[in-house]
């Protein structure tokens, strides 16, 4: 009998509860972090759990309320966004000024405050009072690291107070211990969290192997749970043939992630097939400093009329944009591809459309795309190859024929129907 099951029996509960801890919930885009959070919430619900989420406050109350209503469970908000004095924690500008003070203490201190300052400022007593007001008491804590450690640190603090197990989900390696320059304080805190958590969940096989080797972890305590398809993969539908031909990218453009190769490849394809200019649109939806760079590049190489930048758009518009696509784009740098798979890759596969992966040709994401039958992989330097693929896919689109042959048996491992059993396997007492 598992720890959770013992707690249920002892408390005579009809159902039991999980609390997700993700400080930046709903602020990282619909096709990646947010969608994965909803997938896990749905999976736990199907296993009979009540669902809760602990996250930081958002500056805009109206936006915060809208997202809270969409989450399939109770949302508990802290009164702070990070390790800022209350007077500074009202908008981005004073917070930015306060971060300047952190920098005066040195880069180690600055990065540590960014990584787990929110958790360090967490008022555990206040959070527990919020639980009591809603009649919610978790039996399991699920701390999520999306590049910073604050979700794990906060889950660990609550687990110690409530005497509960907690699971450490690493969606990305932590900044300061895997991403960017290593920081001694962050590496030490990361090791402590790995050792104090009941089990560790990662999103790639390569990162699982790295953690086990670097930190001498028990391989039985580190599990891989890939993201899921939004729904079962369908063969290409008629909607894909609507004109114009849409080349769609959804996601952020930061941390070195760029669509320069795509735009340059598209320009090269036009040089060889001028008619592509007349009925092709490159749609980019998302955020990040790279958007301005894309606008500038498109203008410089003469394809600005073919570029449509949507910025950050809501979930329903994201789905509509992806459904209109003739091609979908996934971009990943050499630095981020080592231990990461873009979450949007799995949602893309649901639509059964060609996917161009601009990434190292030998990485986990590239291998998944190849095996799915949907992927066309090109390195960032392979401008000619990208142009060849665009011409081929446009020719097939014009002839109204599919360019891909989906391997449904391979893709079935990412099916939503298999998720509850996969989730159950990592719960306390199940191994």
Quote the pLDDT of residue 235.
Answer: 60
Comparing C-alpha atoms, which of 348, 344, 324, 354 is closest to residue 30? 344
Element containing residue 98 per DSSP (H, E): helix 92-104
**How far out from the chain centre does Cα 131 lie?**
27
Residue 418, pLDDT > 90, answer no
Quote the pLDDT of residue 199.
Answer: 95
Percentage of the chain lying above the pLDDT 70 cut: 91
Quote the pLDDT of residue 147.
Answer: 86
Average pLDDT over residues 205-209: 93
Top-confidence residue, 52 or 333? 52
Quote the pLDDT of residue 4.
Answer: 46
Q: What gap in Å lies between CA 356 and CA 265, rounded to an integer?
A: 12
Q: What gap in Å lies between CA 193 and CA 151, rounded to an integer?
A: 11
pLDDT bucket at 31, cuts 50 / 70 / 90: low
Average pLDDT, the chain: 87
The string of DSSP codes covering 157-222 is HHHHHHT--EEEEEEEPPBTTTBSS--HHHHHHHHHHHHHSSEEEES-HHHHHHHHHHHT--GGGE
Average pLDDT over residues 164-189: 92
Residue 10, pLDDT > 60, answer no
Quote the pLDDT of residue 243.
Answer: 79
Comparing C-alpha atoms, which of 247, 205, 198 is closest to residue 354? 247
Report residue 174 as tokens: 């932590």
Residue 241, pLDDT > 70, answer no
Report residue 348 as tokens: 């893309």
Residue 301, pLDDT > 90, answer yes
Q: What gap in Å lies between CA 391 and CA 265, rounded to an integer?
A: 10
Average pLDDT over residues 116-120: 92
Distance linking the first and last C-alpha atoms of the chain: 11
Average pLDDT over residues 44-71: 88
Quote the pLDDT of residue 238.
Answer: 47
Quote the pLDDT of residue 9.
Answer: 37
Quote the pLDDT of residue 266.
Answer: 96
pLDDT bucket at 319, cuts 50 / 70 / 90: confident
pLDDT bucket at 125, cuts 50 / 70 / 90: very high
Average pLDDT over residues 93-103: 89
Cβ(201)–Cβ(221) below 8 Å: no
Residue 431, pLDDT > 50, answer no
Phi and psi of 192, rounded to 5°?
-60, -45
Sheet of strand 327-331, all strands in order from the earlier edge strand to the far edge: 307-311, 280-285, 245-250, 327-331, 355-358, 375-378
Report residue 263 as tokens: 């735009």
Quote the pLDDT of residue 232.
Answer: 58
Residue 7, pLDDT > 60, answer no
Q: What gap in Å lies between CA 407 and CA 402, rounded to an integer?
A: 14
Phi and psi of 283, rounded to 5°?
-100, 130
Sheet of strand 49-55, all strands in order from the earlier edge strand to the far edge: 74-77, 49-55, 16-21, 140-146, 166-172, 199-202, 222-224
Q: How many CB atoms lie within 10 A of CB 389?
A: 20
Residue-range domains of the chain with CATH: 3-227+416-424 (3.40.50.2000), 238-413 (3.40.50.2000)
Q: How far is CA 34 from CA 23, 67, 77, in A?
A: 12, 10, 16
Report residue 361 as tokens: 């040709």
Average pLDDT over residues 39-55: 93
Cβ(229)–Cβ(240) below 8 Å: no
Quote the pLDDT of residue 25.
Answer: 83
30-44, 270-284, 321-335: range with lowest mean pLDDT: 30-44
Comparing C-alpha atoms, which of 178, 150, 197, 164 is closest to residue 426? 197
Quote the pLDDT of residue 245.
Answer: 94
Q: What gap in Å lies between CA 397 and CA 403, rounded to an integer?
A: 8
pLDDT bucket at 339, cuts 50 / 70 / 90: confident
Quote the pLDDT of residue 255.
Answer: 65
Average pLDDT over residues 241-253: 84
Average pLDDT over residues 333-356: 84
Residue 29, pLDDT > 60, answer no
pLDDT bucket at 234, cuts 50 / 70 / 90: low
Most confident of 56-65, 211-220, 329-338: 211-220
Cβ(393)–Cβ(354) below 8 Å: yes
Cβ(28)–Cβ(160) below 8 Å: no
Q: What gap in Å lies between CA 163 and CA 134, rounded to an integer?
A: 20
Q: What gap in Å lies between CA 170 and CA 202, rounded to an integer?
A: 5
Report residue 75 as tokens: 């949302």
pLDDT bucket at 3, cuts 50 / 70 / 90: very low
């Amino acid at each position: 009998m598992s720890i959770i099951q013992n707690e249920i029996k002892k408390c005579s509960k009809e159902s039991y509860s999980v609390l997700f801890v993700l400080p930046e919930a709903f602020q990282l885009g619909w096709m990646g972090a947010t969608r994965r959070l909803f997938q896990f919430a749905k999976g736990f619900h199907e296993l009979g759990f009540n669902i809760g989420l602990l996250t930081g406050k958002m500056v805009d109350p109206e936006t915060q309320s809208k997202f809270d209503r969409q989450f399939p469970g109770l949302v508990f908000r802290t009164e702070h966004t990070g390790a800022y004095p209350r007077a500074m924690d009202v908008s981005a500008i004073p917070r930015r000024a306060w971060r300047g003070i952190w920098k005066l203490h040195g880069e180690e201190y600055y990065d540590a405050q960014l990584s787990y300052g929110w958790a360090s400022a967490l008022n555990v007593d206040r959070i527990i009072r919020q639980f009591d007001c809603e009649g919610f008491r978790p039996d399991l804590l699920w701390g999520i690291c999306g590049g910073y450690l604050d979700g794990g640190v906060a889950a660990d603090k609550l687990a110690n107070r409530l005497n509960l197990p907690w699971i450490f989900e690493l969606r990305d390696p932590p900044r300061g211990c895997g991403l960017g320059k290593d920081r001694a304080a962050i590496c030490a805190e990361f090791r402590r969290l790995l050792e104090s958590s009941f089990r560790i969940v990662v999103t790639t096989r390569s990162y699982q192997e790295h953690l086990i080797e670097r930190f001498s972890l028990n391989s039985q305590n580190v599990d891989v749970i890939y993201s899921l398809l939004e729904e079962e993969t369908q063969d290409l539908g008629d909607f894909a043939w609507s004109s114009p031909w849409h080349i769609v990218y959804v996601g952020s453009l930061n941390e070195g992630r760029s669509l320069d190769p795509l735009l340059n490849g598209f320009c090269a394809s036009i040089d060889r097939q001028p008619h592509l200019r007349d009925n092709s649109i490159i749609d980019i939806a998302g955020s990040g400093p790279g958007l301005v760079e894309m606008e500038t590049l498109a203008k410089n190489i003469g394809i600005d009329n073919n570029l449509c930048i949507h910025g950050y758009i809501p979930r329903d518009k994201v789905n509509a944009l992806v459904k209109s696509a003739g091609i979908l784009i996934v971009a990943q740098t050499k630095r981020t591809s080592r231990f990461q798979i873009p979450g949007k890759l799995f949602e893309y596969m649901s639509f059964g459309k060609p996917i161009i992966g601009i990434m190292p040709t030998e990485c986990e994401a590239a291998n998944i795309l190849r095996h799915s039958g949907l992927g066309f992989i090109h390195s960032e330097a392979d401008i000619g190859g990208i142009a060849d693929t665009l011409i081929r896919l446009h020719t097939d689109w014009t002839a109204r024929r599919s360019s891909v042959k989906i391997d449904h048996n391979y893709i079935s491992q990412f099916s939503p129907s298999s998720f509850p059993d996969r989730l159950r396997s990592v719960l306390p007492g199940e191994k």
